[in-house]
Amino acid sequence: MSEAKNIPYKIYLEESELPKYWYNVRADMKVKPAPLLHPGTLKPMTAEDLAPVFCEELIKQELDDDTREYPIPQPILDFYKMYRPSPLVRAYCLEKKLQTPAKIYYKFEGNNTSGSHKLNSAIAQAYYAKQQGLKGVTTETGAGQWGTALSMACSYFGLDCKVYMVKVSYEQKPFRREVMRTYGASVVPSPSDTTNVGRAILERFPGTTGSLGCAISEAVEVATSTPGYRYVLGSVLNQVLLHQSVIGLETKIALDKYGIVPDIIIGCAGGGSNLGGLISPFMGQKLRGEADYRIIAVEPASCPSFTRGKFAYDFCDTGKVCPMAKMYTLGSGFIPAPNHAGGLRYHGMSSILSQLYHDGYMEARTVEQTSVFRAAEEFARVEGILPAPESSHAIKVAIDEAMKCKETGEEKTIVFGLTGTGYFDLVAYEKFHNGEMTDYIPTDEDLAKGFAGIPDIGIE
Amino acid sequence: MSEAKNIPYKIYLEESELPKYWYNVRADMKVKPAPLLHPGTLKPMTAEDLAPVFCEELIKQELDDDTREYPIPQPILDFYKMYRPSPLVRAYCLEKKLQTPAKIYYKFEGNNTSGSHKLNSAIAQAYYAKQQGLKGVTTETGAGQWGTALSMACSYFGLDCKVYMVKVSYEQKPFRREVMRTYGASVVPSPSDTTNVGRAILERFPGTTGSLGCAISEAVEVATSTPGYRYVLGSVLNQVLLHQSVIGLETKIALDKYGIVPDIIIGCAGGGSNLGGLISPFMGQKLRGEADYRIIAVEPASCPSFTRGKFAYDFCDTGKVCPMAKMYTLGSGFIPAPNHAGGLRYHGMSSILSQLYHDGYMEARTVEQTSVFRAAEEFARVEGILPAPESSHAIKVAIDEAMKCKETGEEKTIVFGLTGTGYFDLVAYEKFHNGEMTDYIPTDEDLAKGFAGIPDIGIE
């Protein structure tokens, strides 16, 4: 498509060009995402229902389907200036390597110590917690990206930060844990004896190495039972996609500055925080009928929520303590096969993205993990960045699309989200280098087990 | 000192503003650094002497005391564009935390996958090797920063890269090793049975975990005995300081753009690659009498080459196979105490910097490692970046100087080099968090043992 001349390798916006507001894509959706339901009453959650768990201002954002733009508070803008703008990079070297006529750009969110885009929402959530006069927040973390981001954010605003880290990660990823400790967080291996939930699980399964579902339950229990604490979450929620819109807004400003119009926008999708953020302003144009883009969500073949999941109300956590959400889901009991190394392991998907996918505004595609790591290595060797496995899902599909352009001779413009770096994922890289990485596609029977856990609540 | 208004958090130069040449500070030195000597004949090394070890073009650069500016070849400029410019960051948050009237800036070189400034010279050395038609290069690496940078550079130009990695690091830092493998390097634990030197050492010391000196000897043996190979090195050499001048040049262009004049420039110093690069254009002005700056080299108290070493001709490696250099040295047998965690463990120092220090153009200061990690953590918490232990030596002294300004009320402008990130140094951070880190200052007797190994060759 159209393109100006002299596109630099990296487009860095000036401080004055940075977005001053977050964009709420729900305002432009004709069919709004279905509301969260109370797991007991099955009625839509109200602000009062949510108040013991989440910060007030964040609840407002969570429930607000109408406000199009949220001004970003100045203290958050100031923090963003420490690591934003993130560069929009023209992948000249990758294009050359592939000998494709396609023009490839990626928005790189890894240049901060949390190593990913998670910091964009962590700092917002910490800010509102501080504003409310809270003492601290609790959360869970699996691999540790979100926990690291939240630790940094809490340290900046002087909030306590308690992270329940899945025990197996706590033990196998000690470095992530140390980064969090550097930022003053208290990191607890989950299950732990600090909560009722944890103690019960330890009693029933003494040798367990934990799960994300259990860690969530512990974090929520501590938040709701400790005065001055609330629980925060790094993906899936509407508020998170709102904060992450900063990724897409910056991308769009940078593209517009050089007169670049993308044909295809690609993002990896676990709970949807990155994808939702990256595509938001483009999706807004699409929803308003102002422009058209192909938007592709990429998920692991071993955890295929969009492509093989059911669109239904389901539990957001294995402990079933959280509100229920309507989303593409594999069932809250679904856990990817043990050989799964590439992140993006959540059983469900953001309600916003689920609705948009259901309504035909975006595509979804699965990729297998060995092909993901192959793409990661190819990318690293020419573009210099060691990508996170999650991000590499998007790389894989960007390369696939660029190779199609090579066949057809089309000069398409491809933009993808490079969400983070892989410095803490080298055990998986090692497996790949040693030829020990395998692929796994769940059978229909595997999926049926997960689907059996989706409750039939009689609400579509 | 003087300062313009509205300094952004981060100054990113435009592509068109990037340096097009490297600056050779030797051209402005009245007293040139002493030449390398042949360890057998004790005569200055000629280009012919060096040809079996180093690439031709790099030898020219090594021996050239006169050419002021070296145009950077276009392919290197193109590679630089992938990760440069590095940001010059105004440490607003650190200033606020310290409540100092000082204005603190840091040049951050960690935003690339090698995690440090080492890539600036690695890509240059790989380029010249490729230009010469070589098949590959060999090198040694301790902690792995240089090995990673070289792997990336060789991958880009399609060169073989063989890295001899000190065995203890190979085993204890498997992640660094995997990054190198991602870039296609072959990484060999040293000592190994692939060389005569390695086999001899293994026979004499079957259980040895290796040393940098041994790894150098193996890398040099392979380079000189394999057709189409040469040896490359990431610090100490004149050519390395030449390439690293890109750090200082960018810093100066960014400062000039905003009318900022530094009072104090601070860099950590191991072999001198970062410090030499950062200060070069400023030192040039000083040598030419055009400006004056306080320049401070920071070294670990446990490896105090500048502050307690001798200025003498010495061996550059423990194996004594390399040319001899005149430098501040602790003796080629000196090894920092086992509790030393913070990098910067080379026994000698760049000849250029040694001469400049000897002639009074710069100061040097030692810091103890627990205070370094304390500064690192303080910095990380407010500035968001997890610094490498090496870089944190400079942070420590920058904070010290800023606190002096607080006492005196002086609004000094401090610039320091933040050479890299600490993602692969979390074992050391963990020790620090657990209160297990100790300090060690070598006694005069300790140093005497190292000094005893400095040869008396009758040449001053």
Interface subset of A 380-399, CB within 8 angstroms of B: 380-386
A378 burial type by CB count under 10 A (0-12 exposed, 13-18 middle, 19+ buried): middle
B201-205: Cβ within 8 A, 24+ apart: none
- Residue B5: predicted pLDDT: 58
Classify strands A229-231 and A186-190 as parallel, antiparallel or unpaired: unpaired
In this prediction, residue B221 has a pLDDT band, given cuts at 50, 70 and 90, of very high
Is A179 an 8 Å CB contact of chain B? yes
**Would you call A82 and B384 a contact, using CB atoms and an 8 Å cutoff?**
yes
Interface subset of A 74-93, CB within 8 angstroms of B: 79, 81-83, 89, 93
Question: Which of A15, A82, A182 lies at the smallest CB-CB distance from B383?
Answer: A82
In this prediction, residue B317 has a pLDDT band, given cuts at 50, 70 and 90, of confident
Note the CATH architecture for domain B24-70+118-231.
3-Layer(aba) Sandwich (3.40)
Residue B280 · residue B352 · CB < 8 Å: no
User: In whole angstroms, what is the distance from residue A236 CA to residue A276 CA?
Assistant: 9
Interface subset of B 414-453, CB within 8 angstroms of A: 421, 423-424, 426, 429-430, 433
Residues of chain A with pLDDT under 70: 1-5, 342
- Specify the higher pLDDT residue, B215 or A366: A366
Contact residues on chain B for A381, CB-CB shorter than 8 A: 155-156, 182-184
Q: Which residues pair with B230 in a beta bridge?
A: B137
Question: A154 to chain B, minimum CA–CA distance in Å?
Answer: 9
Q: Where are the domains of chain B?
A: 10-21+84-115+244-451, 24-70+118-231
Residue of B nearest to A383 (CA): B82
**Would you call A183 and B421 a contact, using CB atoms and an 8 Å cutoff?**
no
Mean pLDDT of chain B: 94
Contact residues on chain B for A386, CB-CB shorter than 8 A: 113, 179, 182
User: In whole angstroms, what is the distance from residue A382 CA to residue A377 CA?
Assistant: 9
In this prediction, residue B435 has a pLDDT band, given cuts at 50, 70 and 90, of very high
Q: Residue A326: which H helix or E strand, with range? A: strand A324-329
**Lowest-pLDDT range of A45-49, A100-104, B240-244, B338-342:** B338-342
User: In whole angstroms, what is the distance from residue B107 CA to residue B275 CA?
Assistant: 12
State yes or no: ipTM above 0.85.
Answer: yes
- Residue A170: predicted pLDDT: 87
Same fold, B10-21+84-115+244-451 and B24-70+118-231: yes
- Residue A286: predicted pLDDT: 98
Single pTM value for the model: 0.94
Peptide bond into B85 cis (omega under 30): yes
**Would you call B385 and A113 a contact, using CB atoms and an 8 Å cutoff?**
yes
Question: B334 to chain A, minimum CA–CA distance in Å?
Answer: 31
**Would you call A383 and B429 a contact, using CB atoms and an 8 Å cutoff?**
no
**Would you call A113 and B152 a contact, using CB atoms and an 8 Å cutoff?**
no
Question: B427 to chain A, minimum CA–CA distance in Å?
Answer: 7
CATH fold for domain A10-21+84-115+244-451: Rossmann fold (3.40.50)
Is A43 an 8 Å CB contact of chain B? no
Is B10 an 8 Å CB contact of chain A? yes
Contact residues on chain B for A156, CB-CB shorter than 8 A: 93, 381-382, 384
User: In whole angstroms, what is the distance from residue A389 CA to residue A196 CA?
Assistant: 34
Give every CB contact of residue B164 below 8 A, 6+ residues apart in sequence.
B138, B139, B140, B141, B188, B190, B192, B215, B216, B218, B219, B222
Peptide bond into A85 cis (omega under 30): yes
Residue of B nearest to A109 (CA): B111
Residue of A nearest to B156 (CA): A382
List strands edge to edge, sheet with B136-141.
Answer: B186-190, B160-166, B136-141, B229-231
Residue A183 · residue A157 · CB < 8 Å: no
**Would you call B433 and A174 a contact, using CB atoms and an 8 Å cutoff?**
no
Burial string for A76-86 (b: 16+ CB within 10 Å, else e) reads bbebbbbbbbb
Q: Is A252 helix (H, G, I), strand (E, B) or coil?
A: helix
Residue B297 · residue B40 · CB < 8 Å: no
pLDDT tens sequence across B358-384: 999 999 999 999 999 999 999 999 998
Question: A92 to chain B, minimum CA–CA distance in Å?
Answer: 9
**Mutation for testing the A interface, residue in B96, B113, B377 having most A CBs under 10 Å:** B113
**Would you call B113 and A386 a contact, using CB atoms and an 8 Å cutoff?**
yes
- Residue A5: predicted pLDDT: 58
User: In whole angstroms, what is the distance from residue A345 CA to residue A348 CA?
Assistant: 9
Question: Which of A152, A181, A430 lies at the smallest CB-CB distance from B433?
Answer: A181
Residue A153 · residue A139 · CB < 8 Å: no
**Mutation for testing the A interface, residue in B5, B6, B7, B9 having most A CBs under 10 Å:** B9
Burial string for B90-110 (b: 16+ CB within 10 Å, else e) reads bbbbbbebbebebbbbbbbbb
Contact residues on chain A for B380, CB-CB shorter than 8 A: 113, 182-183
Confidence check: pLDDT of B2 > 70: no
Contact residues on chain A for B433, CB-CB shorter than 8 A: 178, 181-182
**Mutation for testing the B interface, residue in A78, A80, A82 having most B CBs under 10 Å:** A82
User: In whole angstroms, what is the distance from residue A269 CA to residue A112 CA?
Assistant: 21
Contact residues on chain A for B156, CB-CB shorter than 8 A: 93, 381-382, 384
Is B172 an 8 Å CB contact of chain A? no
Torsion of CA A422, A425, A428, A434, to 10 degrees: 70
The single-letter DSSP state of residue A441 is -
